[in-house]
Copies of this chain bind each other. A is one copy, B any other.
Amino acid sequence: MNRIDIRPRYCECDPMGVAHHATFPIWFEMGRTELLRETGVSYRELEAEGVFLAVVRLDVRYKSPARYDDQLILETRLGPVGRVKIEHEYTLRRDDVVVATGRTTLACLGADGAARLLPDVLARLHD
Residue pair A68, B26 in contact (C-beta under 8 Å): no
Q: A38 near B: Cβ within 8 Å? A: no
**Per-position contact with B for A9-39: 1 when CB-CB < 8 Å, else 0?**
1110111111011110110011001000000
- Range of interface residues on chain A? 35 or more
Identical chains in the assembly? 4
Majority secondary structure, A binding face: mixed
Residue pair A11, B14 in contact (C-beta under 8 Å): yes
**Per-position contact with B for A42-80: 1 when CB-CB < 8 Å, else 0?**
111001000010111111111101011100000000000
In the bound complex, what is the Cα–Cα distance between A15 and B44 (angstroms)? 10
Q: A119 near B: Cβ within 8 Å? A: no
Residues of B within 8 A of A20 (CB): 10-11
**Shortest distance in angstroms between A47's beta carbon and chain B's nearest beta carbon?**
7
Residue pair B69, A42 in contact (C-beta under 8 Å): yes
Residue from the list B21, B22, B59, B67 in contact with A23, Cβ < 8 A: B22
Residue pair B26, A25 in contact (C-beta under 8 Å): no
Q: A82 near B: Cβ within 8 Å? A: no
Q: Can you sample 6 A-B contacts with CB below 8 Å? A: A13-B15, A14-B14, A22-B22, A43-B69, A54-B62, A57-B60
